[in-house]
Amino acid sequence: MASISKKEFGRLSNGSLVYSYTLENRAGAKATIITYGARIQSFLVPDKEGNFRDIVLGFDTAKGYEEETFYMGAIVGPHANRIQNAEFTINNTTYYLECNDGANHTNSLHSGSTGFHNKIWGAEINNGKLLMYQFRPDGEGGFPGTLTAQVTYDLTEDNALKIDYQVTCDSDTICNMTNHSYFNLNGIGGGTILNHKLQILADSLTESDAEALPNGKIYQAEGTPMDFRQLTPIGERIDDDFQQLIWGAGYDHNWILSGPVKDGLRQAAFAVSEESGITLSVYTDMPGMQFYSGNFLDGTPGKKDIPCKRRSGFALETQYFPNSPMHPEFPQPVLKRGNTWNSTTIFKAGLAE
């Protein structure tokens, strides 16, 4: 069972106080979560020399998180990723969301400015776990229903950071929550992630258009630069002359997970840095995962004032497929009134053999 300590992290521009909670296991690994956006602020794990490295990009101040635009470490919801034309229909009623993405800002991304990444979450410690709470009133951001979300963080003795989601709503709505941490297994200031090797346990992907919106088509990874079924350097094919990569300025796509299921979860990905020896395994019960190679990180100063440069971190966002409300053939992120949406994602750090 992890020990958990609490302290003040800082204040937002409106004066709201942000707290941090640090979970520490007996091996000395630590994960710090802040109440602003329920974000993973740091994840300290041992490298091959036994030194601890922080493998999550982020900021040392509340102001840094308030001003950034990359959702660093955040719990994203109530609906993560993109929805075309910022609208969806449930029970023959169409709901209109905030338009904040796309060439003409006609689409919805990560639930807009009122999304959970911009909220101060309630928090309590319970039996070595950190429970965090958020509430969305009916109509906020355009979404129907009064929604209550609980996210539980648990750091295990084998350096797995487990995230459990539990969501209810008093009306039929959509729900697709994820965590948007950026990882660099070399640690803060560790350069680009192009030499990291990555495996994604998926045979196929959803095809995206120029605005990163799945168009309903599915294609096979084999024979394309999107094939990560075998451990492959992230930078090996990232700039290939392949339309999906050109539109995304690199990897920013949804893989359809196909690994074997064990105890309700399947392994989605495995990453390793040969420099540090640190590995990261991702497990989930969701059908898809967005791999984003940090193509639009712009050098904003992060922890220790080290710039978060282009491709200095990668995100592995477990999810329903983006734009699913526009494609009924995809698994649907519909949460029915009276039901509870439960989901689990695990980020497990380790060492290369």
| The token pair that represents 321 in the structure block | 């497929």
Distance between CA atoms of 334 and 76, rounded to whole angstroms?
A: 16
Q: CA distances (Å), 49 to each of 52, 53, 236, 271, in order?
A: 9, 11, 27, 18
Q: Which residues of 214-243 are buried (b: 16+ CB within 10 A; e: fewer)?
A: beeeeeebeeebbbbeeebebbebbeeeee
Active site residue 317: yes
Of 161, 235, 225, nearest in space to 195 by CA: 235
Q: How far apart are the first and last CA of the chain?
A: 26
- Residue 296 region by backbone torsions, left for phi larger than 0, else alpha for psi between -120 and 50, else beta: alpha
Active site residue 105: no
DSSP code of 60? S
Asked if residues 179 and 345 have their Cβ atoms less than 8 Å apart, the reply is: yes
Phi and psi, residue 90, nearest 5°: -135, 135
Instruction: Given the residues 79, 110, 180, 253, select the one marked as catalytic.
Output: 180
Q: Report the amino acid identity of residue 96.
A: Y
Distance between CA atoms of 321 and 343, rounded to whole angstroms?
A: 15
Contact residues for 289 (Cβ-Cβ < 8 A; gap 6+): 200, 202, 254, 255, 257, 268, 269, 282, 316, 317, 318, 319
Q: Which residues of 140-149 are buried (b: 16+ CB within 10 A; e: fewer)?
A: bbbbbbbbeb
Q: Catalytic residue numbers? A: 180, 317
